[in-house]
Amino acid sequence: MSLIKEIIKEAQEGKYAFGMFNTSNLEVTQAIARAAEARNMPAMIGVTETAIKYAGFLPLINLIKGVITESKADLVLHLDHGKNPKLIKKCIDEGFKSVMIDASFCEFEKNVEITKDIVEYAHKKGVVVQAELGKIPKVKSSMEIEVMLKKMEKTDPNEAKEFVERTKVDTLAVIVGNIHGMYKPEGNPHLDIDLLKKIRDKISTPFVLHGGSGTPSGDVQRAILEGGIVSVNIDTEIRVAFMGAINDFCVSGQMVTDPRKILSIARDSVQKKVEEKIELFKCNN
């Protein structure tokens, strides 16, 4: 059994979750690895297509692989929200152990078709595949949340059962009221735990929760303990921690000529945030 399959299996049986933390540079990658080591927990280090476009495929991927190799923690390189099948297959060929095919923007049958193709390709190389069913609305501000939530297409339990059976996907990202990003002053909406349980009653496939940043902590833990969530995605809170530390340094009026002095402060801030999330996902287990 591969490392990522063991991580998923143990999380599902133990009723806890591991984090999938996104990165686009050295400092954030190091912070994730150090936090996982400090808390003695596995983690996924995720990259998106936009991160790859920003940093370049080989520079970013080789950087992450180097950090993973030197780390004592169980870390897995993951492609988050992959929409380009060609890029997804390239990631599989280049050593990613987990990939997400996000065809949730397509109609159900097309989502099945695209996902099934990636699953068949990935499984030949022992790579785990995650897919998404339902649609998370895109919102630009907290003022739009209520309006956009009305347009949300939550995961249908019956469709989820059919989707998993036909695609043979390893994990399923469910939409149960979760949204991407963090919104104030109202905060992010609560999760529909009852719906999550209904989906769980239909299938035993491990679930993934996207949009973990800003989601009420109590909801996250209930989703893990009661709804079968084995992994929670965090991106926005990492960015906020990173940039917040840099902004605070700049406001302090200090002057430095070595950028590493500022970036190391940002790295420490991200590590602290990742450790907080890891403890939350452990559910005191």
Phi, psi angles (nearest 5°) of residue 79: -95, 120
Beta bridge partners of 81: none
3-state secondary structure of 173: strand
Catalytic one of 80, 156, 219, 235 = 80
Exposed, middle or buried, 105 (CB in 10 Å: 0-12/13-18/19+)?
exposed
User: Is-contact 114 99, C-beta < 8 A?
Assistant: no
Query: What is the C-alpha to C-alpha distance for residues 142 and 190, in angstroms, rounded to an integer?
Result: 14
Nearest CA to 195 among 233, 227, 151, 150?
227
Rg (CA), the chain: 18
80 is a catalytic site residue: yes
Residue numbers annotated as active site: 80
